[in-house]
Amino acid sequence: MLFNFLLTFPLFLLALVIHEYAHGWVANKLGDPTAKHFGRLTFNPLAHIDPVGTIMLPIFLLFVHSPVVFGWAKPVPINYSFLKNPKADMFWVGIAGPFANFLMAIFLSLVLKIPVFAGLAVLKIVLSQIAIINIILAVFNLLPIQPLDGSRVLYSILPQKIASLYMKLESFGMIILLGLLWLGVMDKFIWPVAVSLINLLGL
């Protein structure tokens, strides 16, 4: 398992970088330059690595034989008060990361259909793995549980009173997320959706 992790970690990190860059890029376009000022509008992975979430936690979960292995990048700083329409723009900032991952997967699925790749087995495997990791990351982040992107998307479309109550759950979000993952939400929701998308793209 550790060997597989070492092989897939660079691909996972690439997907995280694309994801976080998209959040910062959209926020910047909508009036919030915070990510740009902090040097986060870059594809340099070193700017996005969270020592705990990107490296230590996944390795720890592997060694304790956890049924779920996951991690995260350093969140791109967003100051929603700088956005032109904070509540509505939160939708676009939130959806940007998963959308960028989906776009990358679609692009790679099209590249893999080019005949020249037919005889390049190793490259096909690598590109397929990158696409699959991007799909899984996107689907996972669309769960409407704080601090995942899906919670920002849901907040932006809820009536203000309900949205305010919903955001009060944020301090419990990680506990809820870990509990759901431990109870098998990956098997019941994320994997079925991800596999359907993977099959749809011919991966």
20 in active site = yes
Q: Is 22 helix (H, G, I), strand (E, B) or coil?
A: helix
The CA distance from 15 to 41, in Å, is 15
How sure is the predictor about 171, in pLDDT bands with cuts at 50, 70 and 90? confident
**Angle formed at CA 111 by CA 105 and CA 114, multiple of 5 degrees:** 150
* pLDDT tens readout for residues 50-99: 888 788 877 777 776 665 566 778 889 999 889 889 888 999 999 999 99
Out of 12, 15, 17, 20, pick the active-site residue.
Answer: 20
- Give the tokens for residue 94: 């939130």
pLDDT value at residue 72: 77
The CA distance from 134 to 105, in Å, is 6
**So where are the chain's domains?**
2-200
Mean pLDDT of the chain: 85
* pLDDT tens readout for residues 124-162: 888 898 999 899 889 989 988 888 899 999 999 988 888
**Backbone torsions φ then ψ of 18, nearest 5 degrees:** -60, -45
